[in-house]
Amino acid sequence: MTWITIDRSQNTPMIRQIYHQLRIKILSGEISAGYRLPSTRQLAEELGVSRNVVLEAYEQLLAEGFLEGRLGSGTFVAEGTYLKKIETNSFIAKNHQPKKNNNMIDFRSGIPALDLFPRRQWGNLAKRVSIETNHSLFGYDSPEGRIELRTVLAYYLLRTRGVECQPEQLIITTGATQALTLVAKLLLSQNETVIIEDPITHEIQTIFQSYGASLLPIQVDENGMDTSQIPQDIKPAFIFVTPSHQFPMGGTLPIQRRIQLIEYARKTDCYIVEDDYDSEFRYEGPPVSSLQGLDPNRTIYIGTFSKILSPALRLGYLILPPALIERGRSLKYFSDLHTPSLEQLTLALFIKEGFLEKHIFRMKKIYRKRRDFLKEQLYNEFGDTIKIHGDSTGLHFVTEFNEVHFSDHLLSKLHDCGVKVYPVELHTIQKYVYKNHIILGFGNLKEEQMKEGILKLKSCLF
């Protein structure tokens, strides 16, 4: 029998080679039901391998049902082992990652300075967690996340953001996106209304809509959501706001509007969802207090470590009013059981040992410098034909150009010039209000890159 070949140069063990070739021949019908295989002794001799090798291959095929042994009469191919081959579709989706143009200056917002991630501190703590922690760490955990992290986080948030919460109200999430998804699952059913700022991150619109929300956009101005425009005669599922730093327009919601929102939520018995994504980087004065602290029973607070540390960690959190905790934990459980434990514990140590606040302090100075530099470049090149909005906080601001329409055509022309900017229109619900506005992120750009980017922008615009 020469139809089985052994290739001794392969990594694959000989047992596996014999098993594999016989299996394919049976599935394809090349040897069919009722066919009697050579004895193990015979095949071993023909292939020049030990009899145990053939024996094990046969046993595996017997165990899987391909073969059956008939007492005293040998080993046969079993019934029902033929499978018609269907040509496999050779199309494979390409990776989404676009080809990198290394000369491209990308003003994408919300990216922290990736080269300044505290690698060594993080790496040392990660190692320490893996080696030193009690071994129960490596088992399943509870959906709300590690108590060590929730405890230091509750204290940190109270101190720095005026957030009023017990560790029990926190659910550690796999990034803020998951927190948004959990909120949608918690609060939405078909055709319910969500009152939302316009413009607002388009991914957030997509998430809420995918859970059945009908979005009621409220225009923003320099001070965030214009609460006077909220209609009084509806009952929304919730109000979604970014009060510390409106995305993308950058306003900070004044106390009067915050109070109006809370009174409205109390009247209509709905929740307020506060998304606080980068307000640690406030360049004028200390961070603004959270809206959550004004009424912890009405407000769901979402936070993230993507901007203050790294988006690659996928670490965010959700603070729930007591009435929502149990269902929130259950929804988290059925999403992914819990967020990875080792990383949670590494972060808990990182906060507890003071590294987080030192890192934020350091980065704030760097980001302020980058912001100032970018503003300077813009004013140098464009003078009073531009206006800058929302630059008091965070890793981006908005630039409004006189009489420039950032159409798809223009954006692709800019792309060809080697500069990528992001139109506010990408995030608007009501269109054509912001067609001359772009978002410029500066968190992950060095001065020379920003300078080059703005020069490219100018040369391509005019």
Q: Among residue numbers 354 through 413, which ones bind its own copies (CB under 8 A)?
A: none
8 A C-beta contact, residue 227 and residue 376: no
> Per CB under 8 A, does 292 bind its own copies?
no
- Of 206, 233, 409, 431, the one binding its own copies (CB under 8 A) is 206
- Of 34, 48, 72, 139, the one binding its own copies (CB under 8 A) is 139
| Span 30-69, contacts to its own copies by CB under 8 A | 56, 59-60, 63-66
| Span 93-112, contacts to its own copies by CB under 8 A | 93-97, 111-112
> Per CB under 8 A, does 310 bind its own copies?
yes
Interface region with its own copies, contact rule CB under 8 A, candidates 8-16, 187-195, 348-356, 383-391: 8-16
> Per CB under 8 A, does 276 bind its own copies?
no
Shortest spacing between CB 94 and its own copies, in angstroms: 7
In this structure, is the dihedral angle defined by the CA atoms of residues 101, 102, 107 and 112, taken in order, positive or negative? positive
> Per CB under 8 A, does 323 bind its own copies?
yes
- Of 123, 358, 412, 446, the one binding its own copies (CB under 8 A) is 123
Q: Nearest-CA neighbor of 320 among 96, 89, 78, 154?
A: 154
CA–CA distance, 431 with 118 (Å, rounded to integer): 41
How many residues touch its own copies under the rule CB under 8 A: the total is: 116
Judged by CB, which is closer to its own copies: 109, or 428?
Answer: 109
The single-letter DSSP state of residue 393 is: B
| Span 252-271, contacts to its own copies by CB under 8 A | 252, 254-257, 259-260, 262-263, 266
Judged by CB, which is closer to its own copies: 219, or 223?
Answer: 223
| Span 327-356, contacts to its own copies by CB under 8 A | 329, 334-343
Residue 16 structure tokens: 């596996």
Residue 232 structure tokens: 């009084």
CA–CA distance, 204 with 226 (Å, rounded to integer): 19
Interface region with its own copies, contact rule CB under 8 A, candidates 229-237, 289-297, 357-365, 377-385: 289-297
Shortest spacing between CB 166 and its own copies, in angstroms: 5
Cα angle value 364/129/336 (rounded, 5°)? 85
> Per CB under 8 A, does 156 bind its own copies?
no
- Of 36, 128, 267, 413, the one binding its own copies (CB under 8 A) is 128
- Of 3, 72, 86, 383, the one binding its own copies (CB under 8 A) is 86
Burial 78-92 (b: 16+ CB within 10 A, else e): beebeeeeeeeeeee
- Of 30, 326, 353, 448, the one binding its own copies (CB under 8 A) is 326
Can you tell me which residue has the tokens 């319910």? Answer: 192
Q: ω before 248 within 30° of 0 (cis)?
A: yes
> Per CB under 8 A, does 76 bind its own copies?
no
CA–CA distance, 371 with 107 (Å, rounded to integer): 12
> Per CB under 8 A, does 141 bind its own copies?
yes
Interface region with its own copies, contact rule CB under 8 A, candidates 87-95, 361-369, 394-402, 406-414: 87-95
8 A C-beta contact, residue 338 and residue 143: yes
- Of 173, 279, 299, 399, the one binding its own copies (CB under 8 A) is 173
8 A C-beta contact, residue 440 and residue 397: yes
Q: What is the 3-state secondary structure (H, E, C) of 122-188?
A: HHHHHHHHHHHCCHHHHCCCCCCCCHHHHHHHHHHHHHHHCCCCCHHHEEEECHHHHHHHHHHHHHC
CA–CA distance, 221 with 309 (Å, rounded to integer): 29
Shortest spacing between CB 410 and its own copies, in angstroms: 25
**What is the pairing mode between strands 396-401 and 419-420?**
unpaired
Interface region with its own copies, contact rule CB under 8 A, candidates 167-175, 382-390, 413-421, 445-453: 167-175
Interface region with its own copies, contact rule CB under 8 A, candidates 45-53, 214-222, 228-236, 288-296: 288-296
